[in-house]
Amino acid sequence: MKFAVTRLSAVSSTNEAAKELARAGAPEGTVVTADEQTAGRGTKGRSWHSAPGLGLYASVILRPPAEALAVLPLAAGIAAGEAVAKSSGIAVRLKWPNDLLWQGRKLGGVLCESGFTGAEFDFAVVGIGLNVGHGLGDFPDELRGRAVSLRMAAERAIGREAVLAAFLQELEIWLKRLDRQGGAAIAAAFASRAVPEIGAEIVVDAGEGPVAARYEGIASDGALLISTPSGPCRFLSAEIIRIL
């Protein structure tokens, strides 16, 4: 895949900018990155803290087959984790479906969105947000106990451009794997890098408050598998359920 990177100093959200470009016909491999986002978005309508000059904020336009959509966030998460390892030597764990964690603290996340023309799938945008150059004081109070950056984890400065280049390389590798080996291979690769351990007692929230459950793993279509006192359940989207 040929990547063409547009670098902006500030934008509301690189995902929004990429979606606009995709709607206007921009090809697969178009990448938007910015030094700062003024309205960076996370999953579930949350905002993504996007301190100027400190994080990697980037979005990639993809046009995969519609069947690939469910595991795309997992493939992107694996690619992000591999990119972090390559560029900084830090080993991250993945938390379904889009969190990158280092020692239990949030290092980054992935936000995948899709565009449709009528009922027809048109494009996907894979957005990655990674805390790179932050010191503890660069995070707002409410994130300070839960967030970490590559600089803090590696105890040295890591360049955002090197991380982006590694991410794009890895994304291509994992998209090829998805294409050739199917969603099951991606789900298995994700599961082998993921927390919690299979069988762990977890707490989930599917919109009705915290519920105790047992983590059973990731299905081959990317769904989260859990069991609760009322029986086994599967959830395809983080918009429906969250592991607390």
15 binding ligand BTN? (CB under 6 A): yes
Tell me if 14 contacts ligand BTN by CB under 6 A.
yes
- Ramachandran class of 109: left when φ > 0, alpha when ψ lies in -120 to 50, beta otherwise: beta
**Contact between 132 and ligand BTN per CB under 6 A:** no
**Beta-strand relationship, 105-117 and 120-131:** antiparallel
Half-sphere exposure of 218 (CA within 13 A, CB side): 31
**Residue 215, C-beta contacts closer than 8 angstroms, at least 6 positions apart:** 196, 197, 198, 199, 200, 201, 202, 225, 226, 243
Smallest distance from ligand BTN to CB 54, Å? 12
Nearer to ligand BTN, 99 or 138 (CB): 99
Residue number, 95 or 119, with CB nearest to ligand BTN: 95
Question: Which one among 73, 77, 129, 133 touches ligand BTN, defined by CB under 6 A?
Answer: 129
The answer to whether the beta carbons of residues 51 and 138 sit under 8 Å apart is yes
Q: Which residues pair with 10 in a beta bridge?
A: 36
Distance from C-alpha of 239 to C-alpha of 45, rounded to nearest angstrom: 9
Binding residues for ligand BTN, how many (CB under 6 A)? 21
Q: Which region among 8-16, 191-199, 201-209, 223-231 touches ligand BTN (by CB under 6 A)?
A: 8-16
Smallest separation, CB 234 to ligand BTN (Å):
21
- Cα gap 73→223, rounded to integer Å: 11
**Tokens 């080996």 -> residue:** 181
Q: Binders of ligand BTN among 33-92, rule CB under 6 A?
A: 37, 40-43, 46, 48, 57-59
Closer of 110 and 224 to ligand BTN (Cβ): 110
The answer to the question of residue 96 lying near ligand BTN (CB under 6 A) is no
Using Cβ positions, the residue closest to ligand BTN within the complex turns out to be 109
Structure tokens at 63: 């046009």
- Cβ closer to ligand BTN: 159 or 201? 159
Q: Is 131 an interacting residue with respect to ligand BTN (CB under 6 A)?
A: no
Between 14 and 149, name the residue whose CB sits nearer to ligand BTN: 14
Rounded to 10 degrees, the C-alpha dihedral 113/28/176/83 comes to: -70
Binding interface with ligand BTN (CB under 6 A): 13-15, 37, 40-43, 46, 48, 57-59, 98-99, 109-111, 127-129
